[in-house]
């Protein structure tokens, strides 16, 4: 399994693209209340039964921690997309 790229929205509302991230790639940044999160990953599976996940986790200080994720398991070698739709953080 390899990732072609990952696109995410940062705390300033900018769309950031990361080319060929490692399988365990991650990023962390402060997120204000009422900000937005979203992410999309494009991957290539080299065999069947490979699993990939994209996860977004956020914490509102002193309130709670939440997350959203997208997971796929391949049935054959192929390209696929994982997506977490844009949502506002309250």
pLDDT of 17 reads 97
Sign of the C-alpha dihedral computed for residues 40, 5, 52 and 79 taken in this order: positive
Q: Is the pLDDT of residue 46 over 80?
A: yes
Q: Is the pLDDT reported for residue 61 higher than 80?
A: no
pTM over 0.95: no
Q: Which residue has the higher pLDDT, 18 or 31?
A: 18
Residue 38's pLDDT band (boundaries 50, 70, 90)?
very high
pLDDT at 15: 96
pLDDT of residue 63: 81
Say how far apart CA 23 and CA 55 lie, in whole Å. Answer: 12
Range of the domain at 79: 2-88
Domain count, the chain: 1
């Amino acid at each position: 399994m390899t990732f072609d790229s990952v696109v995410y929205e940062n705390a300033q509302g900018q769309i950031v693209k990361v080319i060929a991230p490692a399988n365990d790639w991650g990023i962390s940044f402060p997120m204000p209340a009422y900000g937005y999160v979203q992410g999309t990953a494009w991957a290539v599976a080299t065999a069947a039964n490979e699993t990939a996940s994209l996860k977004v986790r956020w914490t509102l200080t002193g309130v709670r921690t939440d997350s959203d994720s997208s997971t796929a398991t391949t049935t054959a070698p192929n390209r696929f997309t994982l997506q977490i739709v844009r949502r506002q953080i309250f």
